[in-house]
Amino acid sequence: MTERSRDQNARIEELQSRLALADNSILELSNEVYRQQKQLAQLESRMIQLTDHLKQLDTAPPAKDAGNEVPPHY
């Protein structure tokens, strides 16, 4: 094997190593994006539930506060 072919093989091996590392990084990033999208969907769903709950509280008649009510004997 000549010096030139050894250099080419070394360069090819380095490129293959970099490609494998890049593939692994892409997979990790993809998994993280998926996890975050799932979490965002859950948070959006919860926010909608809370918004609906707040709307129901706004339309409900105010609850009587027994502490401010005049006792019946007055």
pLDDT of res. 74:
62
- Single pTM value for the model: 0.63
pLDDT of res. 60:
77
The string over 56-70, giving b where at least 16 C-beta atoms fall within 10 Å of a residue's C-beta and e elsewhere, is eeeeeeeeeeeeeee
Segment-wise mean pLDDT, segments of 10 residues, the chain, 74 residues: 93 98 98 98 98 90 68 71
- Give, for 28, the enclosing helix (H) or strand (E): helix 3-59
